[in-house]
Amino acid sequence: MENQYIIAHADKSVLKISGLEIKGLNTAQIEELLAARMKTAVRVIGVTGDAIEMDVYNIDPEQIRRDERGLIEAVSLAEGIRLTDLTKMVCGEKIVDVDFDSIPDQPLSACARERWIKW
């Protein structure tokens, strides 16, 4: 058994759109629609019956927030999504770097987050 570790040095923010009715969502289509609108890469990372969570790469979160209406309109074009009166968008800040110099060679815990925080 051999495990290799790789670090992806990508800037991203998490974008969540809630208050939706979702059934039969084509995630590739929604990624394409939003990528075209924001001109950057988008990846759907979580979907429930009423919300979508996405990673958005290399874009200022404030820029995303300013275009809330446009982004929600873009989302509404995807198959399997209906907007409701409760539809809203929340965009978090960019991810924060951790210090790679202090990472141990071997995992100390089964929980990766705990492992990084400990050191």
Partner 1 sequence: MVMNLIFILPTGDEIHQGIVRDIDSPEIISQSLAAFPQAEVTRIPPVLDVEQTIVEKIKDLARRQPDLIVLIGGSGGGHRFSKSLGKDFTHTAMERYLDEHFSHEIYGKNGHMWCKLIIGKKGPTIFINVPGPYVEAKSAYEAFLKGLASGLDLKEINHAMAEAVLSLYPSQASLPL
**Is 7 near partner 1 (CB under 8 A)?**
yes
Q: Which is nearer to partner 1, 24 or 69 (CB)?
A: 24
**Is 44 near partner 1 (CB under 8 A)?**
yes
CB-based burial of residue 15 (10 Å sphere; 0-12 exposed, 13-18 middle, 19+ buried)? buried
Query: Taking CB under 8 A as the criterion, which residues in 62-91 touch partner 1?
Result: 79-80
Which residues does 26 contact at the CB level (< 8 Å), separation at least 6? 78, 79, 80
Q: Which is nearer to partner 1, 1 or 69 (CB)?
A: 1
Cα gap 56→96, rounded to integer Å: 14
Contact of 95 with 11, CB cutoff 8 Å: yes
> What does the binding site for partner 1 look like in residue numbers (CB under 8 A)?
1-12, 16, 22-28, 31, 40-41, 43-49, 51, 53, 57-58, 79-80, 95-98, 100, 103, 105, 111-113, 116-117
